[in-house]
Structure 1
Amino acid sequence: MSKKMILYNFDPSSPVRAVKIVAKILGLELELRDVNLLEHEHLAESFLKLNPEHTVPTLIDNGFVIWDSHAICTYLIDKYGEDDALYPKDLQLRARCNQRLFFDAASLFPRLFACGYHVFFHGGTEITKDKTDPMYSAYEILEAFLAEDPFLVGNNFTIADICVALTLSYLVTYAPLKEDKHSKILAWLNRVDQTIPFFAEFNTKFKNNFHESVLSTLEKNKQI
């Protein structure tokens, strides 16, 4: 690698932090360039030319530009990983890993985004059942994924565990996990923490800040 890769960064973003975790596991150095989404810096003309979807994370690796956390993570492992442990080359294991990543992208994260939009941009004063029901339906699927396996791809800890765990850490503010219904998810989250010794470093502060921000915004919206 001739020079440090550039990552367009927004610390509170769970997808951004998924890329950072994978990079740290792989021993890669990233040059972080902060993009303040709250100040609409992602809509600047220069950033739109780089990434027309104007999303973070966005990565530049020696002139190659890629965005979407799942695409970035798989790219980094395929190019720089010493082995395929995090993203298996075995076709069936990779297919399962991809399916879990697509579940995160197509099911979990859209539910998180919709609820966040309701609270932070539409002045929502409470988390209504029509918002939490889809989240709990997704939790049932996660419980099924983990019915007989310690991780989302069988016995193998992969990037699917990283990405889904980070999304879930925000989702639970809106739809808390229940010990009697989600015991496998709770045990799995603890397993992820134990597998990556620095996972909490990349997640706990932001998870707590997010929780407090949602509660304070809901209260503020009630007073308007």
Structure 2
Amino acid sequence: MGLELYLDLLSQPCRAVYIFAKKNGIPFELRPVELLKGQHHSDAFAQVNRLKKVPALKDGDFTLAESVAILLYLSRKYEVPDHWYPQDLQACARVDEYLAWQHTALRNSCTRAMWQKMMFPVFLGEQVPPETLASTLAELDRCLQLLEDKFLKDQDFVAGPHISVADLVAITELMHTLSYSNIEKLPSVSRERTSSLLHVWPRRENPPWGIPQSGHPALCLTMPTPSTWLPLPIACQCWLPSFQKPTQAGCMAPTCGGRGGERSLSGGPCSCHEGQGLASS
């Protein structure tokens, strides 16, 4: 059996892995794992990843979890162009620096904003205290400022003049932020920064990511943004009307982080009795 990737393309980390593999012509068998159906908690999937998260990789008898580890494994095994994960010591360190910061900063802020701004009030019927939402959006704004001032600065990409896995991880996260809400509903500063980054980034890498618009349906949607923006591969919004509140076994909400009984990100009692926390990383 060749390379197998266990993905749910509603997940930002899964999309980064999928786009990276497609862009670099890496042959793989897609093994869909539907988070909203709780498939990541199945016994079969636990044999692949005991963490019960996506993405996951299976390469013969070897299995691997965590999107960053998977991206680096693929870049090394398949000898992709050097710019994705540079051999130059300092350029590589810049990529590593961003990847280390991303999961606890930008990803966390974007995920909290998505759940508090859309998932809880619109699809779960749970109201978010205004002060909680305001705090979350302020943190998102701070992370966007850091992304621009600390990592991008006056460079084309995070690690310099060429795109790297750091940029791919960043762009899938930012696109997800705008896919769940009209850009006008974001705070003014966040709106301007996010719009600017997503407007410029794909023009630096043409064609954007190398994934055709006729590809996977979860990657084929034009951003709900001004007509001057280029089409970008982002999470399909068509699944939202059929979204149903996750069951205890299939919870994918970033709620109590595995402790159970604590308060959810909406500020109310945690509805996740098993407290599984983020289902993708």
State TM-score, norm by structure 1: 0.81
Q: Which amino acid aligns with 2:98?
A: R
Residue 52 of structure 1 deviates from its aligned partner by 1.9
Secondary structure of 2:5's aligned partner: strand
Question: Paired residue for 2:85?
Answer: 87
CA apart distance, 1:156: 2.0
Closer, same or farther in 2 for the Cα pair 1:124/1:34, shift >3 Å? same
C-alpha offsets along residues 10-49 of structure 1, whole Å, 9 cap, x if unaligned?
Answer: 1211211111111122211111111111111111122223
How many residue pairs get matched?
A: 214
More helix by share: 1
- The equivalent of 2:103 in structure 1 is 105
Q: In terms of mean alpha carbon deviation, does 182-191 or 75-84 score higher? A: 182-191
* Structure 2: unaligned runs, 5 residues or longer: 222-232, 245-281
Specify the alignment match of 1:220 in structure 2: none
Distance 1:132 1:190 in 2: 27
Q: Which residue of 1 aligns with 2:40?
A: 42
Which string of whole-angstrom CA distances, capped at 9 and with x for unpartnered residues, describes residues 110-160 of structure 1? Answer: 123323443435644468212211111111011112221011111121111
Q: Which amino acid aligns with 2:119?
A: F
Alignment partners' CA distance in 2, 1:94 and 1:120: 36
Structure 1 residue runs of 4 or more that deviate by more than 4 Å after TM superposition: 124-127, 199-202
Q: Which moved more, 1:187-196 or 1:156-165?
A: 187-196
- 2:73 corresponds to which letter in structure 1? Y
Aligned to 1:171: 177
Structural RMSD (CA): 2.9
Q: Are the counterparts in 2 of residues 143 and 185 from structure 1 also a CA contact under 8 Å?
A: no
Instruction: Tell me if the contact between 2:202 and 2:208 (Cα under 8 Å) persists in the aligned partners.
Output: no
Give the aligned partner of residue 120 of structure 1.
119
In structure 1, the partner of 2:135 is: 130
Identity %: 27
CA shift at 1:180, angstroms? 7.2
Q: Which residue, out of 50, 60, 70, partners 1:72? A: 70
1:33 aligns to 2:31 (yes or no): yes
TM-score, normalised on structure 2?
0.66
CA apart distance, 1:199:
6.9
Q: Post-superposition shift, 1:97?
A: 0.3
- Deviation per residue, 1:202-222 (Å, 9 max, x gap): 6452746449839x99xxxxx
The alpha carbon displacement at 1:182 in A equals 6.2
Counterparts of 2:193 and 2:106 in 1: how far apart (Å)?
21
Q: Does 1:213 align with 2:240?
A: yes
CA distance in 2 between counterparts of 1:159 and 1:48 reads 27
Unpaired segments ≥5 residues, structure 1: 218-224
Match of 2:11 in 1: 13
